[in-house]
Amino acid sequence: MSDDALVLSYYDSVLRQSDVLLLEPPHWINDRLIGFVFEYESRRYDYAAFVAADVAQFIKLSSPNDVTEFMAPLELSSKEVVLIPVNDNDDAERSGGVHWSLLSFIRKTNSFCHYDSLLKLNTEQAQRIADKLRFCLLPDKPPSFQDVDCPQQTNSYDCGMYTICFVYYVLHHVLEGNEKSLKEVVRPETVALKRKELKELISEISLQYCKQ
């Protein structure tokens, strides 16, 4: 199979062989793989909003008024949680960057929480998104912002995978009130396993679509 061969077209997510190959270490995963996870999970959690990487880039680089108008159809004010991938790229033409982290908004605590696996490298980027996105959320008062004490990646290429693991932590532990700590749930072995699980999920869905 060539690197450009189509592997999966799943709603708004399109993956090619070159994308799937990135799930083998020591590769950085790209915005298309993060987008697939967001697209897949959005079909399972109707109380959560999953903001695509290119939309997150738009929020970061646009005016608050433009952001509010653009985001209105997503009805973020009705969502219990909003999940946003953050990158360190300031180029309006590209949604990907060198480093990924996760910004979440939790309505019940009226707070933005930033999960970063590399020394809070994306804090400024996440704050810029939070400052503009809060106008779409219609909270009773301005949300708080905090950098969460996160497990740190032990290599130079796993930031995207940590970001995905943080997504699952928010969905399965923060929202459900599970008392397990982030550092208990997200460990280097967890991240390595998630690469394998995603590869298997993509293969499984691809086979299902082939049979239809």
Which residues form the catalytic set? 99, 116, 159
Q: Do the beta carbons of residue 58 and residue 67 sit within 8 Å? A: yes
Three-state DSSP at 145 gives strand
Three-state DSSP at 81 gives strand
Residue carrying structure tokens 């990646």: 153
194 sits in the region (left: phi over 0; alpha: psi -120 to 50; else beta) called: alpha
**Separation of alpha carbons 111 and 87, rounded Å:** 20
Nearby residues of 5 by Cβ (< 8 Å), 6 or more positions away: 16, 17
Cα–Cα distance list, 54 to 30, 49, 85, 148 (Å): 12, 15, 9, 24
Buried b (16+ CB within 10 A) or exposed e, 73-85: eeebeebebbbbb
Which residue type does 111 have? S
